[in-house]
Chain A
Amino acid sequence: MKAVKMMDNLYLNDFTRGIFKENPTFRLVLGMCPTLAITVLVKNGLGMGLAVVAVLACSNVVISSLRRFIPEQVRIPCYIVIIATFVTIIEMVLQAFIPALYDALGVFVPLIVVNCIILGRAEAFAGKQPVLRSLCDGIGSGLGFTLGLLLLSLVREIFGNGTLLAETNYAIQLFGPNFEPMRIFAQPAGAFIVLGLLLALTNIIFKRFQID
């Protein structure tokens, strides 16, 4: 009974670590390019986040199951080829089924290949740990990344566009007709500044609750 519980904890720990303690966006500050670039609307942020979850889960599982066969010296090129394969698949799926999202994300869809989070998890975790734990870790880290994108895009969409979930079926106009959107939030400069402030905020929260 106790053994079972410990097993559960192990997987749960792998899963939650990526979301809170080692959140890719706020704690590790990895994968900044898509984080800053495509978070103008919540829809894009969520789409990118889920695409990364899919790639990260698949690549972690494959890399972890091949970890005994990949030679130490050429592991990075091997990891990259595996990741690139899954990104190509995701790219084709998006292009075929959600073309609007594919157009909105633009070149950042193929650029998931060079998202440091994915290679980072492969190198730090999946290359050494068993398959199931790697899967939990992949999904957790991916969701942590999605959380970061979601928060940033929420702030930027609310202030920069005055809407919530624009370009979806659930679009809400938040302010009255006289609301003048603060365009700076939708601009590159706004992305940097909002993310900087969010980082400071998480620093305060983590310090207050002593999570480190």
Chain B
Amino acid sequence: MEKLISILFIYILVDNFVLQRFFGICPFLGVSRKMETAMGMGMAVVFVITLSTLVTWLIHYYILVPLGLEFLQLVTFILVIAGLVQLVEIFLRKASPTLYQGLGIYLPLITTNCAVLAVALLAVRQEFTLLESVVFGIAASLGFWMALVIMSGIRERLELTKVPGPLQGTAITLITAGILSLAFMGFRGMLTF
């Protein structure tokens, strides 16, 4: 139980997936322009990561390892993730067309969100149990969601300010992310396994 709680807090705050580990930077820069889409993207990612970690863990330990097919790990994992993303897309199109419109091209791009594959691979590499892997997935995606929402809040304000010409767009976003990351460095070393 203690380990589960520390995994939760480590991957939300101390080892934040976006700001400290650099997973999922593309959607972080791409969808953080508006608070609303950031919330939607965050939710979609939490759902996909939690589910994909569960499925890939089961596949790794009950299919790949007994059959000695570990070298197929990467191919199976990415296929499972691509399938799950498709599922979420179909579900969202029916359930919430506005959100589906808002997420636009970024929804299929969750497949290439490296955070999803990274969680699946790291859960196996760090030899987490099933429960730990799922908590790890939840924590990592919540951390991603939090970073995305904070960033979109800042960027909404940034729209109203005067940014020097060459810094406009991605450059100022990256520097803002750098300062955010600096702030999150304050959590470093507070928790370990």
Contact = CB atoms under 8 A, between A and B. Distances in A.
A190 B111 CA distance: 28
A81 B75 contact: yes
A184 B188 CA distance: 14
Given A92-B71, A110-B117, A77 B177 contact: no
A9 interface: no
Contacts of B82: 76-77, 80
B26 interface: yes
A187 B178 CA distance: 10
Given A80-B82, A192-B178, A203-B166, A110 B171 contact: no
Contacts of A31: 26
Given A33-B23, A88-B75, A116-B112, A192 B118 contact: no
A40 to B, nearest CB: 11
B112 A192 contact: no
B26 A32 contact: yes
B78 A192 contact: no
Give the secondary structure class of A's interface: helix
Contact of A199 (B116, B117, B171): B171
Contact of A110 (B121, B172, B179): B121
Interface in B120-174: 121-122, 125, 165-168, 170-174
A33 B114 contact: yes
A200 B185 contact: no
Interface string B28-41: 01000000000000
Contact residues on A (Cβ < 8 Å of other chain), bracket: 35 or more
A80 B79 contact: yes
B191 interface: no
A196 B79 CA distance: 33
A184 B170 CA distance: 21
B42 interface: no
B188 to A, nearest CB: 9
A107 interface: yes
Nearest to A120: B112
Contact of B20 (A115, A188, A207): A188
B5 interface: no
A80 B78 contact: yes
B65 interface: no
12 contacts: A80-B111, A88-B75, A92-B71, A189-B182, A189-B185, A192-B178, A193-B178, A193-B179, A196-B170, A196-B173, A203-B166, A204-B166
Interface of B: 19-26, 29, 71-75, 78-79, 82, 108-109, 111-114, 116-118, 121-122, 125, 165-168, 170-175, 177-179, 181-182, 185
Given A32-B26, A188-B21, 18 more contacts: A31-B26, A37-B21, A76-B111, A80-B79, A87-B74, A88-B74, A88-B75, A92-B71, A111-B23, A111-B118, A184-B182, A187-B181, A189-B182, A192-B174, A192-B178, A193-B174, A200-B167, A200-B171
Interface of A: 29-34, 36-37, 76-77, 80-81, 84-85, 87-88, 91-92, 107, 110-111, 113-116, 119, 184, 187-193, 195-197, 199-201, 203-204, 207
